Amino acid sequence: MTKSVELKWKKLHPKAELPKIATAGAACFDLRAAMDAPMTLNPGDIVLVPTGLAVEIPLGFEMQLRARSGLAAKHGFALVNGIGTIDADYRGEIKAISIVLGREPLTIQPGDRICQALIAPVIPVVHVETTELSDTARGEGGMGSTGVRN
């Protein structure tokens, strides 16, 4: 298992801040909003919140962007794509595709922590066409096929 992964960060905006690990046991690190003025998100609006950062992720890894639990619980703040993936070969600005699912607008100030990021390994995939798949107990049972109390 890899002990650490080196990420190279490039600031694209003068207010951009490099991420920091908040606690020794944290799995994720926070990314901050980098813009010249506050940004207000109205409920239902889909907005790209800039971080002012680009990153170089080593091949074999990805960065996953996730909503911060405090913003989600207090304001209904979410990432539209659930978990956003930043691929190792992407070199553009990281932006959080954001939405407010709550009932009140949310104003994001420059420097606010807007999402958290996790580095994860990417396992290469080989696609193989076949005419048969192995049998399982579930078979073709789809959504809800196992009930809610099993």
99-138 pLDDT, tens digit per residue, is 999 999 999 999 999 999 999 999 999 999 999 999 998 8
What average pLDDT does this structure show over 32-40? 97
pTM beyond 0.75, yes or no = yes
- Evaluate if residue 50 carries a pLDDT over 60: yes
Dist CA 80 CA 84 (whole Å): 8
- Residue 73 has a pLDDT of 95
- Helix, strand and coil content of the chain, in percent to the nearest 5, comes to 5, 35, 60
pLDDT score at 16: 98
Q: What Cα–Cα distance (Å) separates residue 123 from each residue in 26, 60, 129, 137, 143? A: 23, 7, 19, 27, 27
The overall average pLDDT reported for the chain is 94
Residue ranges covered by each domain of the chain: 26-121
CA 98 to chain centre: 10
Residue 20 confidence (pLDDT)? 87
Least confident span in 3-7, 27-31, 85-89, 141-145: 141-145
Q: What is the pLDDT of residue 94?
A: 98
- The answer to whether domain 26-121 has CATH 3.30.70.20 is no
